[in-house]
Chain A
């Protein structure tokens, strides 16, 4: 018996070190979520996580202006979306960055570290490795509403 089973759509794309690439990033994520029937919140949070990491490579990693400085791979699995984010920036391990102070009063808020804080709130199983001139972060966003 033949099953007409669709091949799961995976995303694999590169970004240049330019803020204008955020538009393409969100279009790629939107397509990936549509093809895999993922909900609006999954799309929002994947977009957020990938923007934070991508912007960091430009602001702190030295990737501003570099061609194909970032590569993103997305794959939907049974229990969540598997994400691999790689960049050719300075070595940076988000799993060992100090936690952001999210209970500080307004006058002490500098919003530094907030992006990585959000990445760690949303994603699970974060793993970092440095491979040659690349940082590589693999992680997972679990399916279903996250209890925060």
Chain B
């Protein structure tokens, strides 16, 4: 189960994500990110409240990043908790996605 919240600040659309990103909730995240990417030039996903992620959640992020690249939208994932960050690292995603320690604004 995840909770999503969208706000606009300093030219960025910030999508706040809370909860567990598993095979059951990943599609919801992907569609929220795609919607944000479809109507903003800069999108940041705030992962500070994500306490679990599996490959289904990674897949959602990868798909969103690809959509952003196709539309030349700046897309970044922020504030990953240590256990979640480790899963990104194990998958080599820290090299191809824009990860930030903190929100861009």
Contact = CB atoms under 8 A, between A and B. Distances in A.
A98 B92 CA distance: 17
Given A19-B24, A102-B91, A105-B96, A115 B54 contact: yes
Contacts of A47: 52, 54
B19 to A, nearest CB: 12
Given A102-B92, A106-B97, A118-B87, A111 B23 contact: no
Contacts of B22: 22, 51
A92 B5 CA distance: 40
B86 A40 contact: no
B90 interface: yes
A111 B88 CA distance: 12
Interface residues of A, number: 29
Contacts, number: 70
Q: Is the interface of B mostly helix, strand, loop or mixed?
A: helix
A126 interface: no
A103 B54 contact: no
A147 B20 CA distance: 24
Contact of A41 (B55, B65, B83): B83
Contact of A48 (B62, B65, B87): B87
A55 B24 CA distance: 10
A57 B53 CA distance: 19
Interface in A106-142: 106-107, 109, 111, 114-115, 117-118, 121-122
A96 interface: no
Given A107-B69, A114-B55, A44 B83 contact: yes
Nearest to A145: B86
B99 to A, nearest CB: 13
Interface string B60-90: 0010011001000000000000010011011
A148 B96 CA distance: 18
Contact of B69 (A19, A22, A106): A106
B41 interface: no
Nearest to A51: B54
Contacts of A26: 20, 52
B56 interface: yes
Q: Across the A-B interface, give the 5 residue pairs with the lowest CB-CB distance, nearest first.
A: A102-B92, A115-B55, A111-B59, A114-B55, A106-B96
Given A23-B24, A55-B54, A107-B66, 8 more contacts: A26-B52, A41-B83, A48-B54, A51-B22, A102-B91, A104-B96, A114-B58, A115-B54
